[in-house]
Amino acid sequence: MTMTRRHEKYRRLIARCKETGAVPCAVAHPCDESSLRGAVVAGEMGLLRPVLVGPVARITELAAQCGLDISSLERVDAAHSVESAETAVRLAREGKVELLMKGSFGSLNLTVSRKARKRGRASSSTVRRRSSSTPSAAGAVRRRR
């Protein structure tokens, strides 16, 4: 099977997505090259209208280092990854974006932020505690509950 044939289904999928037009998407904490580049390229392809949510100075510096032009993209300042996730979820709930894209942080930040805001229960400190990836820290969180 040739490489061209293997990727044909993705080309068809991208073509169908382009037909719908660029969808507004909050990109939460795009502070590494792959997440920032992915958002920029998806925007250039007409798939997304990225809204970069995170520490604006850090994102701008990273874009310059990577040779990415983000001058036309909307940016929403957030101090750290948890605030970026919370802000991205808020933008979605307010109808300002239709999609959420995870940047350079653990998946639990976005998941817990979305659930916490929906239920109105968890604070930012709860989100940070739950997002720990070490087994000992995860055990400590369970014991504290």
H/E stretch holding 51 reads: strand 48-54
What pLDDT shows up at residue 6?
78
CATH numeric code, 3-144:
3.40.50.10950
Q: What tens digit of pLDDT does each residue of 116-139 get?
A: 555 554 444 333 333 333 333 333
Q: Which of 26-30, 65-69, 112-116 has the lowest mean pLDDT?
A: 112-116
Q: What tens digit of pLDDT does each residue of 42-98 get?
A: 999 999 999 999 999 999 999 999 999 999 999 999 999 999 999 999 999 999 999
Token pair listed for 114:
């979305």
Close Cβ partners of 132 (under 8 Å, ≥ 6 residues apart): 138, 141
Residues in the chain: 145
pLDDT band at 20 (very low <50, low <70, confident <90, very high): confident
